[in-house]
């Protein structure tokens, strides 16, 4: 390895690396967020109690079957192949050329959605039955129970798994170079090809990928700890409620 080449590549092509890293982050952030939202929606639908009879029961079953096939299909095929099928497929079938970046985000989103759906479902099921019961007893329906009680807890439970998906997405966007998205791997390939310095260029990419995933992992760990809060409650003596406290109560959280 030649350190000289590494510094030379860095000083000459740092904007390309930076732009590539930016695109990689953009695709994986948006993909993870949209994928998580898809996962949340599907998780809520798939945990709905089945109505006793009638049209509602049948429609829920149909929807569940469709969602199950979506999950199975996207989890069961490689993202690199999905990318080719979707990108070239839409071009052939509808004669539309998807914007490459849009296509990339689209593919990562639905792929992540398929994984997150199962993760969310697991997260919802792992919330104590008593939480559902208390929410129902107070008069909440399924959606209200989910939004106000269960999902906040499920999301906390699945945060590590979601972080994991995010990290996987940062790494796996590299396969999207097959549809020529200018993410980090694609840029590195260009840099390497221009100079015939494959090792040095990819060594730089390697470091950048690691910095990105490591930072994300740290941030999420910090977030988890913050969400958990302290184990014990320190009594604030000033909190002994008097009517004037109601002013303060107006803006907690």
Partner 1 sequence: MVNIIEVEHLSKSFGDNVVLKDINFSVTKGEVVCIIGSSGSGKSTLLRCINLLEKPCGGRVIYKGEDILNEQHDVYKYRQKLGMVFQQFNLFNNHDALGNCTVGQVKLLKRSRQEAEAVAMEYLRMVGMEQFIHAKPKQLSGGQKQRVAIARALSMNPDVMLFDEPTSALDPEMVGEVLKVMKELAESGLTMLVVTHEMGFAEEVADRVVFMDDGVIAEEGSPQQIFNNPSEGRTREFLKRILNQ
Q: Report CA-CA distances (Å) from 223 to 23, 32, 159, 227.
A: 24, 16, 9, 6
Residue span binding partner 1 (CB under 8 A) among the ranges 28-36, 71-79, 178-186, 233-241: 233-241
Q: By CB under 8 A, what part of segment 107-136 binds partner 1?
A: 128, 130-131, 133-136
Residue 98 CB contacts under 8 Å (≥ 6 apart), including other chains: 86, 87, 90, 91, 106
Residue 196: which H helix or E strand, with range? none
Residue 215 Cβ vs partner 1, minimum distance, rounded to whole Å:
27
Residue 136 Cβ vs partner 1, minimum distance, rounded to whole Å:
6
Choice from 138, 206, 207, 223 touching partner 1 (CB under 8 A): 138
Is 230 an interacting residue with respect to partner 1 (CB under 8 A)?
yes
Nearer to partner 1, 76 or 229 (CB): 229
Q: Which residue has the tokens 């129970």?
A: 145
Residue 61 CB contacts under 8 Å (≥ 6 apart), including other chains: 50
Choice from 51, 152, 160, 193 touching partner 1 (CB under 8 A): 152
Give φ, ψ of 44 to 5 degrees: -65, -45
Is 223 an interacting residue with respect to partner 1 (CB under 8 A)?
no
Nearest to 183 by CA among 38, 3, 31, 73: 31
Nearest to 102 by CA among 23, 4, 155: 23
Residue 50 Cβ vs partner 1, minimum distance, rounded to whole Å:
13
Binding site for partner 1 (CB under 8 A): 128, 130-131, 133-141, 144, 148-149, 152-153, 156, 229-233, 235-236, 239-241, 245-246, 249-250, 252
């Amino acid at each position: 390895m030649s350190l000289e080449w590494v510094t030379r590549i860095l000083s000459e092509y740092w904007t390309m690396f930076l732009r590539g890293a930016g695109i990689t982050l953009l695709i994986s952030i948006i993909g993870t967020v949209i994928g998580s939202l898809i996962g949340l929606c599907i998780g809520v639908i798939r945990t709905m109690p089945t109505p006793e009879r009638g049209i509602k029961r049948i429609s829920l079953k149909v929807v569940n079957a469709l969602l199950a096939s979506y999950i199975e299909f996207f989890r069961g095929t490689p993202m690199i192949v999905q990318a080719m099928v979707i990108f070239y497929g839409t071009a052939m079938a509808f004669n539309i050329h998807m914007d490459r970046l849009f296509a990339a985000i689209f593919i990562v989103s639905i792929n992540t959605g398929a994984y997150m759906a199962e993760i969310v479902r697991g997260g919802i099921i792992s919330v104590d039955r008593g939480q559902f019961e208390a929410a129902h007893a107070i008069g909440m329906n399924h959606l209200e129970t989910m939004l106000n009680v269960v999902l906040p807890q499920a999301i906390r439970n699945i945060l590590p798994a979601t972080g994991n998906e995010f990290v996987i997405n940062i790494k796996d966007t590299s396969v999207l170079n097959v549809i020529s998205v200018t993410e980090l791997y694609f840029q590195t390939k260009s840099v390497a090809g221009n100079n015939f310095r494959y090792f040095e260029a990819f060594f730089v990419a390697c470091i950048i990928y690691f910095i990105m995933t490591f930072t994300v992992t740290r941030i999420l760990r910090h977030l988890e700890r913050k969400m958990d809060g302290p184990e014990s409650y320190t009594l604030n003596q000033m909190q002994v409620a008097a009517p004037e406290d109601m002013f303060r109560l107006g803006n907690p959280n």
